[in-house]
Amino acid sequence: MLHFSIVSCFFLATFTAALLLSFVTVSTCIQTDIAFVDLIDQQVISKEQAKAASLALSSRHFEKHGAKWPSVSFSSAVRSASLDVTLSDNTAHGYRYAHSVVLMAMANDMAMKTTVPLFVQSLNNMTSSVGNEGTVQKHVGSRIMSNHLVLICSSSSAFQACHNLGLAERCVEDLDMALGNKSLPFHTIGFNMIGFAKIKYILNTISLGHDVIFMDTDVVVFQNFIPYILGIGADIAALVEKCRVVDDRLDYSRRAVKDMPLFNIGVTYFRSSSPGVTRCVHSWLFDMRMEVRDRPRVWDQDVFKKVMFHCTKDFQLRLHTLSPRRFFSYCHKPCGCSYSDQDVLTKIDKYVRPSKSSMGGTCNTSAVRGWLLSHFPCAGEAENKALLMEKFSSMFQTAGL
d(CA 44, CA 394): 37
Rg (CA), the chain: 23
* pTM, rounded to two decimals: 0.86
Residues 264 and 231 in one domain: yes
Would you state the pLDDT for residue 46?
78
Would you state the pLDDT for residue 42?
62
Residues 161 and 23 in one domain: no
Would you state the pLDDT for residue 259?
82
Answer whether residue 374 is part of any domain.
yes
Q: Are 307 and 283 in contact (CB under 8 A)?
A: yes
Q: 3-state class of 268 per DSSP?
A: strand
Would you state the pLDDT for residue 113?
96
Residues 6+ apart with CB under 8 A from 302: none
Domain tally, the chain: 2
Would you state the pLDDT for residue 246?
92
Q: CATH number, domain at 99?
A: 3.90.550.10
Helix count (H) and strand count (E) of the chain? Answer: 13, 14
Residues 27 and 75 in one domain: no
Residues 215 and 88 in one domain: yes
Answer whether residue 52 is part of any domain.
no
Would you state the pLDDT for residue 15?
33
Residues 314 and 391 in one domain: yes
d(CA 92, CA 287): 29
Residue 250 has a CB neighbour count (10 Å cut-off) of 18
d(CA 251, CA 321): 8
The distance between the two most distant Cα atoms of the chain, rounded to a whole number of Å, is 98
Answer whether residue 131 is part of any domain.
yes
Answer whether residue 50 is part of any domain.
no
Specify burial of residue 260 (Cβ count, 10 A radius: 0-12, 13-18, 19+).
middle
Answer whether residue 46 is part of any domain.
no
Would you state the pLDDT for residue 39?
60
Residues 66 and 11 in one domain: no
Q: Is the dihedral of CA 47, 42, 192, 376 positive or negative?
A: negative
Answer whether residue 129 is part of any domain.
yes
Residues 234 and 331 in one domain: yes
Residues 97 and 207 in one domain: yes
Residues 130 and 187 in one domain: yes
Answer whether residue 335 is part of any domain.
yes
Answer whether residue 55 is part of any domain.
no
Residues 6+ apart with CB under 8 A from 98: 84, 85, 86, 87
Would you state the pLDDT for residue 63?
93
Residues 27 and 69 in one domain: no
Residue 227 has a CB neighbour count (10 Å cut-off) of 21
Q: What is the DSSP letter of 331?
A: G
- Among the residues of 256-381, which ranges form H helices? 275-291, 300-314, 341-346, 365-369
pLDDT in tens, 349-375: 899 989 888 767 889 898 899 999 999
Would you state the pLDDT for residue 222?
95
Would you state the pLDDT for residue 51?
83
Residues 166 and 213 in one domain: yes
Instruction: Give the range of the structural domain holding residue 29, as residue numbers without chain letter.
Output: 2-37
Residues of the chain with pLDDT under 70: 1-45, 87-97, 129-142, 178, 180-184, 359, 401
Residues 92 and 223 in one domain: yes
Question: Considering only CA atoms, which of 283, 285, 279, 321 is closest in space to residue 300?
Answer: 285
Q: Determine the residue type at 273.
A: S
| Angle at the Cα of 396 from the Cα atoms of 393 and 399, rounded to 5 degrees | 155
